[in-house]
Amino acid sequence: MTLEFLVASAIGILVAGGIYLALRGRTFQVVLGLTLFSYAVNLFLFAAGRLTLDRPPIWSKTVTEYADPLPQALVLTAIVITFGMTAFIVVLALRSFLETGSDQVDGDDAPCTLDEQAKADATPEPHT
């Protein structure tokens, strides 16, 4: 088995898990799905620089071969941004749960048309 195969298949598995979870009906699962998906995306971006062993991009007069620094720089900020996005979605999910009492992404009865939605919005929600 080559390292390339391991990375590619890991990306594939993470994407599959991410898609499946993102399609679930509860907010927490969607967050998990996005987390898996972000891992995969970051790995994929990183892999664009190809896999290099033991040659970190720390410049030195004596070294001529390095790992590609550019994807690394991009992925580094991507990881931090991923955190920002995850945190935002988690908080959004929490707020919507507290606001509606439901943790389903489409609401409890998942209205399917705008008219029904408007009707549902118009009826005042009993305060618990």
Partner 1 sequence: MAVPLMLYTLVILPFLAALLIAIGSSHGRALHSGLAAAGSALGLALILGIAGRVIGGDVLAVSVPWVPVIGLDFSLMIDPLGLMFAGLILGIGLLVVIFGHFYLASDEATGRFFASLMLFQGAMLGIVLSGNVLLLLVFWELTSLSSFLLIGFWRDKAEARQGARMALAVTGGGGLVLIAGMVLLGTIAGSFDLMTILERGDIIQASPLYPVMLVLILIGCFTKSAQFPFHFWLPHAMAAPTPVSAYLHSATMVKAGVFLLARLWPVLSGTELYTVIVTSVGLITMLMGAWVALFKHDLKGILAYSTISQLGLLVMLLGFSLEMAAVAAVLHILNHAAFKAALFMSAGIVDHETGTRDIRRLGGLAKVMPITAIVATLAAAAMAGLPPLGGFISKEMMLDETLHVGLFGISWLVPVVATIAATLSVAYSLRLAVHLFFGKPREAEPHARAHDPGAGMWASPAFLVILAVLLGLVPMALAGPLVSSVAGAVIGNAAPPLGLALWHGVNVALGMSLAAVAIGALLLWRHAGLLRGYEAMRHLDAKALFDRTLGAADREVRKLIVATHSPSLQRMLFASFAVIVALVAEGALTGGGTLTGARAGQPASAVAIIAWGLLIAATIAVVRAQRQRFLVLIYISVIGLIITLAFVHFSAPDLALTQISVEVVTILLLLLALNLLPKTPPLLSSQPRRYRDALLAIGGGLGIGGAAWAMLTRNPNDPISSFHLANSYSGGGGTNVVNVTLVDFRAFDTLGEIIVLGIAGLAIFALLDTTSRGAAGARLRSWQEDMPHSPERHPLMFVMATRILLPLVLAVGIYIFLRGHNQPGGGFIAALVVAIAFLLQYLASGFDWTDARRRVGEHLLIASGVLVAMATGLGSLVFGANFLTSSFGYFQVPLVGEVELATALLFDIGVFAVVFGAVMQALAQLSQISQRAARAHAAQVEAQQQGSEP
Please choose, from the candidates 82, 83, 103, the residue with its C-alpha nearest in 3D space to the C-alpha of residue 92. Answer: 103
Residue type, 92: L
Contact 14, 40 (CB under 8 A): yes
Size of the site for partner 1 (CB under 8 A): 100
- Binding track, positions 70-109, relative to partner 1; x by CB under 8 A: x-xxxxxx-xxxxxxxxxx-xxxxxx-xxxxx-xxxx---
Residue closer to partner 1, measured from CB, 28 or 123: 28
Contact 10, 47 (CB under 8 A): no
Q: To the nearest whole angstrom, how small is the minimum distance from the Cβ of residue 32 to partner 1?
A: 6
Tell me which residues in 6-45 interact with partner 1 (CB under 8 A). 6-32, 35-36, 39-40, 42-44
Q: Does 119 bind partner 1 (CB under 8 A)?
A: no
Residue closer to partner 1, measured from CB, 123 or 128: 128
CA distance 40 to 35: 9
Q: To the nearest whole angstrom, how small is the minimum distance from the Cβ of residue 122 to partner 1?
A: 15
Rounded to 10°, the helix 27-47/69-100 angle is: 170
> What are the tokens at 37?
């998906």
